[in-house]
Amino acid sequence: MAPVDRLEQVLAVLRASGGRVTSPRRAILWALIEHQGHPTAEQLTADVQARQPDVHESTVYRFLDELERLGVVDHVHLGHGPAVYHFADDPHHHLVCEGCGLVVEVPVRTLEEFRGLVRRDLQFEMELRHFALPGRCKACAASRRAANAGGLRP
């Protein structure tokens, strides 16, 4: 989708819900659309303030909350540290490498089999939308195995 179309689409949702279109909100949305990857609220605030220095941190948090209530964005916790935000369409899960910080996006259906397994065996409905699965990417796992040769942990 073209950036401008996406902006207008979200603004339409916002208006339809009784929300108002303000200049900070446009700027925040724009930062979210332009950002490649998984921005934190802090990064978005910085991007916004580069153009509109008076926009306050708490405005960013509040608007992100509202966008989440509207189903437009989701937040994800990538292990420790701040949450990151992304648009909620094309839902996906996240794998995050604890070594290098690499974030891998995984289509929902890739983990559907596992969710079914846990549902059947443990009567538990996993919900991975808001929490990444932590671990090590191939490279980091290999370098750790090398470092741990003869180490303590099994």
Partner DNA sequence: ATGTTCCTGCGTCCAGCTCGCATCTGGCCG
Partner DNA sequence: CGGCCAGATGCGAGCTGGACGCAGGAACAT
Q: Most distant CA pair in the chain: distance in Å?
A: 62
Residue 110 DSSP code: G
Q: How far is CA 134 from the centre of its chain?
A: 14
Nearer to a copy of itself among residue 10 and residue 27 (C-beta): 10
Q: Judged by CB under 7 A, does residue 57 bind DNA?
A: yes
Q: Judged by CB under 8 A, does residue 103 bind a copy of itself?
A: no
Q: Which does 52 bind (CB under 5 to 8 A by kind): DNA, a copy of itself, none?
A: DNA
What is the token pair recorded at 104?
């891998």
Site string for a copy of itself, 19-58 (x = CB under 8 A): ----------------------------------------
Interface of this chain with DNA, residues 66 to 105, rule: CB under 7 A: 66, 81-83
Closest to 64 in 3D by CA, of 82, 90, 81 = 82
Q: Contact 93/106 with Cβ under 8 angstroms?
A: yes
Q: How far is CA 77 from the centre of its chain?
A: 7
Q: Contact 87/73 with Cβ under 8 angstroms?
A: yes
Q: Which residues bind a copy of itself (CB under 8 A)?
A: 71, 79, 95, 97-98, 104, 106, 110, 113-114, 117-118, 121-128, 130-131, 133-138, 141, 152-153
Q: Which residues bind DNA (CB under 7 A)?
A: 15, 18-25, 40-42, 52, 54-59, 61-63, 65-66, 81-83
